[in-house]
Amino acid sequence: MDLAFPHVCLWTLLAFVLTWTVFYVNNRRKKVAKLPDAATEVRRDGDADVIIVGAGVGGSALAYALAKDGRRVHVIERDMREPVRMMGEFMQPGGRLLLSKLGLEDCLEGIDEQIATGLAVYKDGQKALVSFPEDNDFPYEPTGRAFYNGRFVQRLRQKASSLPTVQLEEGTVKSLIEEKGVIKGVTYKNSAGEETTAFAPLTVVCDGCYSNLRRSVNDNNAEVISYQVGYVSKNCQLEDPEKLKLIMSKPSFTMLYQISSTDVRCVMEIFPGNIPSISNGEMAVYLKNTMAPQVPPELRKIFLKGIDEGAQIKAMPTKRMEATLSEKQGVIVLGDAFNMRHPAIASGMMVVLSDILILRRLLQPLRNLSDANKVSEVIKSFYVIRKPMSATVNTLGNAFSQVLIASTDEAKEAMRQGCFDYLSSGGFRTSGMMALLGGMNPRPLSLIFHLCGITLSSIGQLLSPFPSPLGIWHSLRLFGAEGVSQMLSPAYAAAYRKSYMTATAL
């Protein structure tokens, strides 16, 4: 009897503790279930899944791609009128392939677009015709398209806005809405002049090279390296219009290409500090007296036509900017607001289309975008996976532009001649280089191979007809500029392959 009472008390106490524990844990679970995770944004009714700032090539294409995946997309564009731009007028074959993968290939149709099969390269009276190669590994027609940029952008906008889950609105975004390092949406002024806000779990800044939001996301600054000066000669057609005309002129390259059945774009590169005034007519005089004599006779009449007829001459800064990953959550930057390279190889649109394809595929497994941590992991993966395409194009664009600059330096001029000789030599050298330029083979190792080939061709120029001390010195300078250790060291080669060639291919 004496032992029974303590046992009863112990069992009663144990039952009470267990009951209280179960009750407490159950209540805690209910409270946790009612409270959103700190990294989860509670979406308001009517809010979009994604806000896109800018409806240019990148913004419009991304809006269409995400909407096709069932996302609700709110696009805010400063000016819905057809853009009048001098850049973004040529789509490489690789860009056309990416456009088709997004289901947007028809946007390059019906805008008086012009077929481009390759280049006609001119240097010191020499001429080389080079074409984009037929390649069984490239699953698309190996031709580019030249066009008026504004017509293409309007077609993309129309296609995006045709989807019911895309809201395309004219407005000026003033700032990003940020809370504790997470971007929640944007503040913008609509077409009526009213300041309002929009919220979404993911904001994409895609407002171009003059982006005023980039600094809110990262501290990346664009470097102005030169200016592209150009105009349109109307009511004329180039001889062999399917070849873009690349002239190795001074101080840098000049290009002529057909952007419609009747119009020819004339554009050249001029460096800061030597830019004549457009407003007082100095530029027109400079183009006629300095640039026109360098244009081959068969192209000179068309080059002069636009100047003589008073075509509007424009100058646009050429900018270079490396891509950097933002530490802020809920936001990603794309297009020229994110990464810029020299436009010598006309590949900016190709890079942003590649980025859109990668980002879209990474986001597809996420049912919603409310978990900021998961979206941040996607953005980090995107930054790595984009490297094979972007690194190849950026390096090629910047390297090719440097080769095109005229110089009194014997080594640099040898590199220029070596590039011309390499492109015009035919065989695997020409086809390989044109595949790189056309975005048909964006592989870093292929780029290294052909850059080394151009360097060796340049060295051959310096050492011909027989080696001299000065020629050998200039040759060593060329090797040094390319980076001997990076070119020849097995360790560097392995690290390069590990960094770029193991990434998921498109």
Spacing of C-alpha 441 from chain mean position: 16
Is residue 389 marked as binding? no
For 203, the enclosing helix (H) or strand (E) is: strand 202-205
Which tokens hold the place of 121?
């390269």
Is residue 90 marked as binding? yes
Q: With CA atoms as reference, report the closest residue to 138 among 503, 432, 485.
A: 432
Is residue 440 marked as binding? no
How big is the CA angle at 231 (ends 227 and 234), to the nearest 5 degrees?
A: 165
Residue type, 342: H
Concatenated DSSP letters of 110-158 = SS--EEE-EEEEEETTEEEEEEPPP-TTS-S-S-EEE--HHHHHHHHHH
Distance CA(496)–CA(231), nearest Å, equals 41
266: phi then psi, degrees, rounded to nearest 5: -115, 125
Is residue 125 marked as binding? no
Is the CA virtual torsion 274, 276, 277, 283 positive or negative? negative
Count Cβ atoms within 10 A of the Cβ of residue 186 and give its class: 0-12 exposed, 13-18 middle, 19 or more buried: buried
Is residue 8 marked as binding? no
Is residue 439 marked as binding? no
Is residue 85 marked as binding? yes
Is residue 157 marked as binding? yes
Is residue 336 marked as binding? yes
**What are the start-end ranges of the E strands in 211-293?**
223-233, 243-247, 254-258, 264-270
Is residue 367 marked as binding? no
Which tokens hold the place of 348?
């900016």
Which tokens hold the place of 94?
């690789």
Residue set of the binding site for FAD: 57-58, 77-78, 85, 90, 157, 173, 336, 349
Residue set of the binding site: 57-58, 77-78, 85, 90, 157, 173, 336, 349
